[in-house]
Amino acid sequence: MKKAIVIGATSGIGKSIADMFVRQHYQVGIAGRRLDLLEAAKDRCPDNIVYRQLDVQNSASIEPVCNELVQELGGLDVLVISAGIGEANKHLDSSIENKVIATNIQGFTGVATWGMRYFKNQGYGHLVNISSIAGLRGNGLAPSYNATKAFQINYLEGLRLNAVKSGTQVYVTDVRPGFVDTDMAKGDGLFWVAPVEKAAQQIVEAINSRKQVVYITRRWNIIALLMRVLPYSLWKRM
């Protein structure tokens, strides 16, 4: 039986991925900040889920919590990082920027490096991170969110190269969603907003296929292409 850990599994995409893993008969370790939601998930699937409370902004707790989950699961095949935050911050409140950086860079890096060390030592495994299509360009309304997602995209490519050079069977998947119907999807004029279950299904399919990079839902490949080629003179007007 395969074993997976989902960090950031109390709501949204992370919760739906964990639920889908359970339906595919994985043993699943889940972690997140809200203890009541972790306990509720355990109550729903007592035979398939173990949990630990974790706030990735507390970097010192990441490694002990992940080690405890692996020990209780009896191993690890897939690690999914779905812990992330983002807020509009037009007036550049430093406390907001620092929270986003602490979660999306420091917390992400702590989990990702722990997972890569574990998988390389094991000789195999699969690291998956939920980044964002937002990481392709800057954003004046939420500069820290787009910038931290750009960091994740670049860091994941580095980890993928690191795994290749190590000669191990370690895979890295970068999931770049567009708009998904979660609390993270804020603002007016949103389009192509995917139901969270549909997004999770496509993500799990990409994991099973060991995709390196995937846009969710698939139609966002078109937007990604446009974002890459659009000149700054036009981008700044959007």
The pLDDT tens digits of the residues spanning 29-77 come to: 999 999 999 999 999 999 999 999 999 999 999 999 999 999 999 999 9
Q: Which residue has the higher pLDDT, 191 or 133?
A: 133
- Print burial letters for 85-96: b (CB count within 10 Å at least 16), e (below 16): bbeebeeeeeeb
Per domain, the residue ranges of the chain are 3-235
Q: What is the pLDDT of residue 193?
A: 84
Q: What is the pLDDT of residue 115?
A: 98
Q: What is the pTM of this model?
A: 0.94
CATH architecture of 3-235: 3-Layer(aba) Sandwich (3.40)
Residues shown for the chain: 238
* % of residues, the chain, pLDDT over 70: 96
- CA–CA separation, 17 and 8 (whole Å): 10
Looking at residue 94, its amino acid is S
Between the alpha carbon of residue 14 and those of residues 83, 110, 117, 236, the distances in Å are 8, 18, 22, 32
Q: Is the per-residue pLDDT at 150 higher than 80?
A: yes
- Please, are residues 144 and 101 in contact by the beta-carbon 8 Å criterion? yes
